[in-house]
Structure formats: structure tokens, C-alpha cells
């Protein structure tokens, strides 16, 4: 796996491209000298976690023939200063599912994603606590 980065302007706007040609813009906020032309690297990390775990969950639930009519996720990260950096200390992922879905299967799909399958979560785990919650048809699962 390989990506390339190219600077777009004189500040911090970059375009990254993967080997398949997909392009992602990265930038910094104006208060940090950027032009707000893309997500920040730390936002992309949260987005990667949302995408990875969501792919897992949908894949698992589809294999179990669960009928998903709506799927959304929100990810929030709490950062702490460590020297000059501010890594994530805690990240919470909340999944919102609707459809004809068994509660136990939805909860198990999330557990499998974070315990076994999501490579992004496994990469983050050594430095940040990753928590998750499933809301199925407006009901929080424990």
C-alpha cells in the first residue's frame, strides 16, 4: 500500500493520491496558517476509523441477511497535549442503524469490528482508548 502527496499551494493544502488514483485534500485551518481546503490529518484519522469499522459492520450484517435501511456513524476524539503534539487520548464511535436488524447481531457486529477486524482501530489502540456504541432504530444497545 502506498500513497503520494503533492503540495497544492504555498501554505498547507496538499493532495494525496493512492495507487488507484483516488485523491484526498488535506489542509490546516486558517488559524494555523492553512486555507481550510480539506480535512486535517487528525480529522482524516477519525474518518478512517469510521470508514473501517462501518465497512466491517455492514459486511457482517449483510452476511447475516440483516436488512439495513439506514447506516450512519459519528466519531469524536479527545486530544491531550504530549510535549508539542496533541494525540488522541479517547475516541468514541457511535453507529446509528435502522432496519430489520436483530439487536444481538448488531451489537456483535460492532464488537467483532473493534475486537478483531478493524485495522485502523487496532493501529490506534496502543495510544488511545477506542469506545463504541450502537443505536438501533433509536434504541441504545448496551
DSSP code, position 85: B
Q: What CA–CA distance (Å, rounded) separates 60 from 34?
A: 40
Query: pTM for the whole thing?
Result: 0.94
Residue whose C-alpha is closest to residue 28's, from 17, 18, 44, 39: 39
- Which residues lie closer than 8 Å to 79 by C-beta, 6 or more apart? 42, 86, 87, 88, 89
Q: Strand pairing partners for 88?
A: 79
Length of the chain: 142
Q: What are 57-113's pLDDT values in tens digits?
A: 999 999 999 999 999 999 999 999 999 999 999 999 999 999 999 999 999 999 999
Amino acid at each position: 500500500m502506498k500513497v503520494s502527496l503533492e503540495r497544492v499551494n504555498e501554505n498547507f493544502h496538499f493532495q494525496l493520491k493512492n495507487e488507484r488514483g483516488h485523491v484526498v485534500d488535506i489542509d490546516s485551518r486558517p488559524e494555523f496558517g492553512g486555507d481550510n481546503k480539506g480535512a486535517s490529518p487528525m480529522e482524516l484519522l477519525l474518518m478512517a476509523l469510521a470508514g473501517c469499522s462501518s465497512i466491517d459492520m455492514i459486511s457482517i450484517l449483510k452476511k447475516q441477511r440483516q436488512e439495513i435501511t439506514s447506516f450512519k456513524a459519528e466519531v469524536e476524539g479527545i486530544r491531550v497535549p504530549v510535549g508539542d503534539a496533541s494525540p488522541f487520548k479517547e475516541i468514541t464511535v457511535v453507529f446509528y442503524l435502522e432496519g430489520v436488524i436483530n439487536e444481538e447481531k448488531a451489537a456483535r457486529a460492532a464488537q467483532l469490528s473493534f475486537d478483531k477486524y478493524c485495522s485502523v482501530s487496532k493501529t490506534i489502540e496502543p495510544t488511545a482508548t477506542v469506545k463504541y456504541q450502537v443505536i438501533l432504530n433509536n434504541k441504545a444497545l448496551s
